[in-house]
Structure 1
Amino acid sequence: MAGQTNSVSVVVKGYGTHQFKVIGYNQNIYNFPISSGTFNIGGYDWRLVYYPRVRSRNEFDNDDYIEVDLELLSKAEVRVMVDLFFFNQITNLPYVVACTKEPMRLTKKIVWAACDLMKLSELESSGYVRDDSIIIQCQVTVILLPGVPKTKSLCEIEVPPPEMAQQFGMLLEDMASADVTFEVGGKSFHAHRLVLAARSPVFKAQLFGSMRDTRMESLVIGEMDPAVFKALLHYIYNESLPNMDSADRANRHEMLCHLLEAADRYAIERLKIICERMLLMDLDVENVAMTLALAEQQHCKQLTHACLEFMEPPEKMEAVVATEGYNKLKREYPALLFKVWEWSVHRRKN
């Protein structure tokens, strides 16, 4: 069954977006899957399939959820990164509902299935359904593999992937060429002035600005945990976050919160956005209250909206109120409770 699609399909060298507007949400009484039109990204044909009512894969969960699949229609084997968004049609803001954390392989027989995206009850009580429609946006990044041609071409010479990030990452371990040391919480970290200055305007001002001390070879960083500063340096040199797979969820969430603050402190905007996105994907009943406080402090508008939307359903809000995070929010950030209340009243009116 085909749905109406609005194909933005902004494509730049293997990266593109496709917007899929599903009309007749309430009229699909038989819950048929709805397919988008075919769109091309990276030289391959794709299609989105929306499943309006799917039982959770968790055998202990009896709720119905929605699912969105990305299908490769071309005869090929492709490695991709995918981000899936729902558009809130009241605020006109996108909300990340699923994303891949590393490249994955797709073929005509292997699809990407974003399961258990959202409970039907939550979807229908949110701003995502409006005028009997929902809007889904998919971002696809095609990753070329050596030896696997993307399309037929007159030139078959494969260019290796960029090496700069790897080389700079190795530079971080080269203490012999380091020319500045940071003292953070009793630990020392060696780095390179030019690299730091190129990556952060704050470091540039500290190391090369008019207030610098040319004799200074060591800087003391206050109010920061050594592990957070180490992760910050890792990003500066590698353009990626350190591996956090071994950390439990609570510790990972805490690290992302502190790293977002560090990114704001040193004006590293892309790192701040990465942390904001990962915190958004990691929201749960226990952490949403204090994540809201952090989002407000750091002026993260999308994360703020996500926290407010998360707490909007009455059953969710009831569970949040019982947490220590909410009690801390009441004690330390009472003004935010009014914002939560104001948001709920506004949504009920709409």
Structure 2
Amino acid sequence: MSTAREIHVGTPAPDFPKKESITIHFHDFANLTTEKDERVESPIFSAAGFQWSLIIYPGDDSSDLSNESPTDVLVDYEISMISSDGDIHETNSRSEASFRKAAKNGGWGRSNFVKRENILNKDNGILTNGTLTFLVSINPNEEYYCRLKKKQYLLGNHIITYLVNDKETADIAFKVGRKVFHAHRSILKARAPELYELATNFDTDTRMPIENVEPKIFELVLKHVYGQTILPNTWAKHSKQILEAPGKYGFNDLKIEAEA
């Protein structure tokens, strides 16, 4: 079987999932169910950043690739039946195939892919010691993937904004002037790591003092950590003070945004 090679021009996004190929074996094929519409499904596997399963219908000569992810997916795919000598016997492929999220009967495939009698015919050399083998190749759609990641990021921001200064669930507190602000270590660790490190020895009872920052400025910065947008008129009014805060407590992404 030939080996595919890839050449990249430029640098791909660091989190962009690359094309992946998975080999799936259905053992003892001759004794799998032959009832009409009865399916045999592979375990769920990961490929190109999403979850999948391969479904075959031994009695209907069909095969389907099913999306098991909690989101809709757009990919190019190939399902290839591999013969005993390692060559491709038959291929079913589709470009920009849209898969609904974890939907029953929501996969893509082909009816009458390879007839059962042809698979069982030893002269065709398809089975390897009774095992039917497929090679599934999945190539994610970059534009769709980037839109999806942006949507997921915005949704994540939308959720955590409700936790800003939530005293009930907080596990760290900051004393800024006469005001107290409550926060969550897990969020600080992800979005303000330097402040997280500085706050190691403090909690909601032993409040970490914040000096040389006005309460309203710290509140703006904290809300930004929790995903809230600082409005343009607020930038204009407090830009100097906002820019000073990142240098003191490590809000580097805020500094970059302010200087953009």
TM-score (norm 2): 0.46
| Structure with greater contact order relative to length (CA < 8 Å, sep ≥ 6) | 2
TM-score (norm 1): 0.34
